[in-house]
Amino acid sequence: MKIKNFLYTRKLLLLNIFLVLYILTNLIGGERGLISYFEKKEVYKKLQGDEKKLSYMFKETQLKNKLLSENVDLDYLDTLYRDNLKYGKKDEILIKLK
């Protein structure tokens, strides 16, 4: 009976305690909490690095495409031909490095 009487008289205090515990729990470990924030921050940094790498690769591919499509660059075409087909002239020595 004392417990029931205590809870009845202090219900505002208990409600505030439960609300504070709920807010603290969600602040630290919820979907939008501190732990989730730091995890998402790491993912964001990784994605920024990937974006920079992909942007560089895209620009490089655009340059190569431009060299082969509009006005064919014979030096670049010769480099591709030699690298991919392992082609050389009679008086040249080819050294495979990899």
Q: Encoding tokens for residue 51?
A: 């974006």
pTM over 0.85: no
pLDDT at 49: 97
Position 92 confidence tier, pLDDT thresholds 50, 70, 90: confident
pLDDT at 15: 86
Determine if residue 92 is left, alpha or beta; phi over 0 gives left, psi from -120 to 50 gives alpha, anything else beta. beta
Interval 3-59: pLDDT, tens:
778 777 788 888 888 999 998 888 888 788 888 899 999 999 999 999 999 999 999
